[in-house]
Chain A
Amino acid sequence: QVQLVQSGTEVKKPGASVKVSCKTSGYTFSNYGISWVRQAPGQGLEWMGWVSADSGNTNYAQKFQGRVTMTTDTSTSTAYMDLRSLRSDDTAVYYCARDSYYHSSGLYPDWGQGTRVTVSS
């Protein structure tokens, strides 16, 4: 079955960077993409962007452009999301979700379990 397993909880200081991983199994990683969605405490969901697993093509939400980098490692079927210049309002649970190959479909039947990132001085 499709599984996406994310890295563990992170605590960072303002201005630092965080890199969250998403290791996948149960499907052919290079035939799909990965999107990242975050959820601030008690808030709704926010789409951050998409990366194609094989080509490395990306599409970032304008809000995060210049501050986020999404990459993949096809040898380990793992996707990564790197967010820089962290602020307190980046405190959230970050989810990866399986997406389409050529572009983000925006439809997510398969999700990781989430990674809690806390930004605090």
Chain B
Amino acid sequence: EIVLTQSPGTLSLSPGERATLSCRASQSVRSSYLAWYQQNPGQAPRLLIYGASSRATGIPDRFSGSGSGTDFTLTISRLEPEDFAVYYCQQYGSSPWTFGQGTKVEIK
């Protein structure tokens, strides 16, 4: 199965700053079938990005995704208070679908 490694584990930033989250796959992700989810404590994950760079319905344009092959990035251009959460990448190109271990974006 494809192992996804996210970095950093924790990102300490202030509101208004730019966040850059990384996701590296142990093998190439077929057709860039890479998604990003946001999760707040006690809540279900929320789909942000699919196909590596397409925003899901209702997701603000400050969220953007990029990458292909084995290296992917989620960028939040200007952090809003509600963006401080845990972010997971997920590949859905090769079964079993797998998730990264998460990056926590916390308030500095």
Contact = CB atoms under 8 A, between A and B. Distances in A.
A46 B92 contact: no
Contact of B56 (A44, A109, A113): A109
Interface stretch (A10-18, A66-74, A99-107): A99-107
Contacts of A43: 101
Interface in B52-97: 56-57, 88, 90-93, 95-97
A108 B97 CA distance: 11
B88 A44 contact: yes
Interface residues of A, number: 20
A33 interface: no
Q: Interface size bucket, B side?
A: 20 to 34
A63 B91 CA distance: 17
A105 B90 CA distance: 12
Consensus secondary structure, chain A interface: loop
Contacts of B92: 105-107
Which of B35, B37, B57, B97 has the most chain A CB atoms closer than 10 A to its own CB?
A: B97
B98 A47 contact: yes
A45 B90 CA distance: 9
Contacts of B46: 111
B60 to A, nearest CB: 16
B47 A109 contact: yes
Nearest to A114: B44
A59 interface: yes
B96 to A, nearest CB: 4
A113 B44 contact: yes
A59 B95 contact: yes
Interface of A: 43-47, 59, 61-63, 95, 104-109, 111-114
